Amino acid sequence: MISLRSAVLVALSASAIAQTQQSKPAQPTQFFALPQMTEAQQQNFPPQLLEELQRIKSAALTDDYAYRQVAHLTENIGPRPSGSMQARAAEEYVASELKQLGLDVQLEDVKVPRWVRGPETAELVGYPGQVSGTSQKIVLTALGGSSSTPPDGMTADVVVVNNFDELKALGREKVAGRIVLFNEIFDKQKAAAGMAFAAYGEAVRYRGAGPRAALEFGAIAALVRSVGSADYRLPHTGFSFPAGIPAGAVTAEDADLIAHLAAQGKVRMHLTLTPQKYPDGIGHNVIADLKGSEHPEQIVVVSGHLDSWDLGTGAIDDGAGVAVAMEAAELLQKLHLHPKRTLRVIAWMDEESGGAGSQAYTKDYASEFVRHTAAIESDAGAGHPMGFDARISPVATNLLQPVLDVLQSFGASALQPSPYPPGADIAAMSETGVPAFGILQDGRKYFDYHHTAADTLDKIVPSDLRENAAAMAIMGYALASMKDPLPR
């Protein structure tokens, strides 16, 4: 991209040449007209507010508050699956940090599932060309909500399908009593081209619905090829609709191995997945308000989810999101800025294993959604922010241009219209018409680590995290302090 400045210079010199050639005054063209604010933009974003947004930006880009928060959440507390002691400790930690900042903090009860991973192994015990007395190790992990095999495992033939149609075509006769492997390949080219979430959406259907589909045809266990973009033989866990059979994700490499061998003949697997389900527990959404100075009853939500999968330490998914939401409040307090509306920081519980936190909030606050004037969630990692995915009206998009101009200097000025709610935890709000935003991070590497043991603190680049905190704080404060609530 060329910068606005060089574009203007090019235009000016072109017009100077044109002037000498035609010796008549050049008409100003739209191309080099300087951007002017509309009346509505000027009213909503007076000079003082724009200056405050600039101050937030400068402070955010040199602040390490968010990094310290995510470091504590991931390294001192660790993985935070719903219903775990670490999730509980993380709720207490975030609540106490936000209290220390001077926010009004509540813990909202959330009934959460408790599912705990056990030992998990697999090996191929029969396959074409097998060397007598040997087996081949398969690297895999149980999917969230999976049932358990017997403690010493189960042995069955494996059938490989590339999609649901192939499963149907095989029919009950060829599936019953076997282990089904869904070998849907994650589209890495799509991810590399900046469409990682589209690639994820295509492949994740099999993780979500595959086990139930396999059960319909009598399968005794279901495996999926890991939904991810890296090649380090890492399995990716994630939510799957409980089917009542063992369900796991094998690595991409192991999916290839099984598929190649199955194309040559019979493949038999010994599979051991031993997770346990316990009765539901009580978790909490952490809800912390920085009260609005003029319209405290109007709410702008800034948020991320506090729970994580158990394999890694939940750094990019989504300790980072919680940390940047916390920093939005920290920056305003540090700079003594008072939003007109209430800025509400939410650390959501249970995004990963069913969304009970978002459901509890909807149940408790639905009657107030008319006064929720906007909601932001960061749940797409900690990569460089390019702007926001937004499910908002065209009028609202146009109105926010002065805010995008503030975000421009660090490359975060995209406002991409989203047909879907841009965040799982704010989806219910978005469905009732609350303007909803998700930080639009560079996601090209996100699915290398997503839901794996490698989702750890080192994957967060501190300068990228600062930009994310800047984006969250600038947009959050702008939405909370613009003159009128953002139009729906």
**Annotated active-site positions, please?**
351
d(CA 436, CA 303): 11
d(CA 61, CA 409): 11
Q: Considering the complex, what minimum distance in angstroms separates the CB of residue 351 from Zn ion?
A: 5
Q: Considering the complex, what minimum distance in angstroms separates the CB of residue 238 from Zn ion?
A: 10
Q: Considering the complex, what minimum distance in angstroms separates the CB of residue 318 from Zn ion?
A: 4
Site for Zn ion in 225-244 (CB under 5 A): none
Tokens of 339: 């939003």
Of the pair 337, 382, the CB lying nearest Zn ion is at 382
- Which 3-state string (H, E, C) describes 289-310? EECCCCEEEEEEEEEEECCCCC
d(CA 96, CA 88): 12
d(CA 257, CA 255): 5
- Residue 97 touching Zn ion (CB under 5 A): no
SS3 content of the chain, % helix, strand, coil (to 5): 40, 25, 35
Of the pair 410, 446, the CB lying nearest Zn ion is at 446
Q: Considering the complex, what minimum distance in angstroms separates the CB of residue 353 from Zn ion?
A: 11
Q: Which of 350, 379, 455, 464 binds Zn ion (CB under 5 A)?
A: 379
Of the pair 292, 443, the CB lying nearest Zn ion is at 443
Q: Considering the complex, what minimum distance in angstroms separates the CB of residue 230 from Zn ion?
A: 17
Q: Considering the complex, what minimum distance in angstroms separates the CB of residue 317 from Zn ion?
A: 4
Binding mask 301-340 for Zn ion (x = CB under 5 A): ----------------xx----------------------
Tokens of 148: 């358990």
d(CA 169, CA 172): 9
Taking CB under 5 A as the binding criterion, the range among 124-132, 203-211, 293-301, 371-379 that sits at the site for Zn ion is 371-379
- 325: Cβ–Cβ under 8 A, 6 or more apart, which residues? 302, 303, 304, 345, 346, 347, 376, 378, 472
Number of C-alpha atoms within 13 angstroms, CB side, residue 285? 28
Of the pair 93, 348, the CB lying nearest Zn ion is at 348
Nearest Cα to 400, choosing from 374, 425, 426, 382? 374
Q: Considering the complex, what minimum distance in angstroms separates the CB of residue 237 from Zn ion?
A: 12
Of the pair 292, 438, the CB lying nearest Zn ion is at 438
Of the pair 138, 323, the CB lying nearest Zn ion is at 323
Nearest Cα to 423, choosing from 393, 390, 472, 447? 390
**At 269, is the secondary structure helix, strand, or coil?**
strand
Q: Considering the complex, what minimum distance in angstroms separates the CB of residue 307 from Zn ion?
A: 8
d(CA 55, CA 262): 61
Tokens of 296: 């405290």
> In residues, how long is the chain?
488
Of the pair 41, 468, the CB lying nearest Zn ion is at 468
- 35: Cβ–Cβ under 8 A, 6 or more apart, which residues? 401, 405
Q: How many residues bind Zn ion (CB under 5 A)?
A: 3
CB 479 within 8 A of CB 374: yes
Of the pair 346, 478, the CB lying nearest Zn ion is at 346
Q: What angle do CA 306, 310, 314 make, to 5 degrees?
A: 45
Binding site for Zn ion (CB under 5 A): 317-318, 379
